Structure 1
Amino acid sequence: MATPVITPIAHFINNCPDRDVYAFEEKTKLILQECLKVRQKELFKAIVFKTITLNVPYLKTYNWQVKVVMSSDRLQNVKVPILQLDLVFESPNSKVNNSVPFNNKLSFELTKEELGTLVQTLEDAKQNLVQALAI
């Protein structure tokens, strides 16, 4: 069974009129179809990924620093390590009237336990994405 991506491409290859600039000889059609068949999963994943990411903000850059909280208003001597994480997101299609593109910075501080939870959550999200894109 052909994937939804390959079917229109194969249709295009097979149904080009001879006078069309994209007309192919029979031998070329067979070679193109074989190449598409071999790489159909990769092509499908690439097209799905490209479609998903068209309007979704993406992580452009990040910055992190480790700090030590020496004291607080309640305790005189704390000495707790804190990670400050800055994430900068950008959206590829958010230009409005040729103005400045969407640029959103998210900053937060995490304890060691919170950082562990964040890393685990991101790993779970990655695994779910890989499973969703698997054919």
Structure 2
Amino acid sequence: MTVKMANIEEVGLSSLKKTDVKSATKLLHSLVDGICKRGHLHYQDYEQTWTLEEWFDLVDSSERVVKAAIREPLNKDQIYQRLGSLPEEFQSVFLDVINSRRQDIHQQLITDTNLISKATLKDFDWQIKLAMASDKLSSIQEPILNLDLDVQSEAVTQIHSLELTREDLNKLISSLDSANRAVQQWKT
């Protein structure tokens, strides 16, 4: 996280001090409900406490901290460090909300990531066959892989059948290895 981003986040979080701990707890649980698509925060409920700009900064900064705590995953000290100069009682509220709703947030982050691509591979099956590739049927036999992919898109499962030569199979494996390396780099 850049220094500029950390400063913006700290400014957004510092406005949480305008309320009491009980209200902050309710606000953060409502924020997590919003992340988990179970409800929404309404500015009208808090307009007496924060200006619209402070509200947007507070919600955005709080959401970033909560998501980062689950995505990265951050331990207690790292969460406190991310919360910066926020008073200890508010830091404890953040930690309590994150810990009590960790599973809900984690599941929603996975769901959000899966929604990037509507189609997912559910299962596959393969067979190797020998194809006669010449008019000299008895002497030339080329192995061919039949690959069936069960792809689920929303509520529909489709089966895609592929017939791959050895070269095609090597290209597929190479592509999958590259994709796996990219995902591993993204995780670190």
TM-score, normalised via structure 1 length: 0.57
Please tell me whether residue 122 in structure 1 is matched to residue 183 in structure 2.
Answer: no
Please tell me whether residue 107 in structure 1 is matched to residue 107 in structure 2.
Answer: no
Q: Is the 8 A contact 2:146 2:161 kept in 1?
A: yes
Q: 2: CA distance between counterparts of 1:123 and 1:18? A: 46
Please tell me whether residue 56 in structure 1 is matched to residue 118 in structure 2.
Answer: yes
CA 30–129 in structure 1, closer or farther in 2 if over 3 Å, else same: same
Q: 2: CA distance between counterparts of 1:59 and 1:103? A: 9
Q: How many equivalent pairs are there?
A: 108
Runs of 4+ in 1 over 3 A off after TM superposition: 26-29, 34-37, 72-75
Q: Encode CA deviations 1:36-71: one digit per residue, 9 max, x unaligned.
A: 59xx9xx78x82x431202521111111001111x2
The unaligned stretches of length 5 or more in structure 2 are 30-87
Q: 1: CA distance between counterparts of 2:141 and 2:174? A: 25
What percent identity do the matched residue pairs reach? 24
Q: 2: CA distance between counterparts of 1:64 and 1:19? A: 53
Residues 4-43 of structure 1: matches in 2 within 5 Å? 16-17=22-23, 30=92, 33=95
Please tell me whether residue 68 in structure 1 is matched to residue 130 in structure 2.
Answer: yes
Q: 1: CA distance between counterparts of 2:142 and 2:24? A: 74
TM-score, normalised via structure 2 length: 0.43
Report the Cα offset of residue 118 of structure 1.
0.6
In the alignment, residue 67 of structure 1 is paired with which amino acid? K
Q: Which has the higher helix share?
A: 2
CA 18–65 in structure 1, closer or farther in 2 if over 3 Å, else same: closer
The CA RMSD over aligned residues, in Å, is 4.0
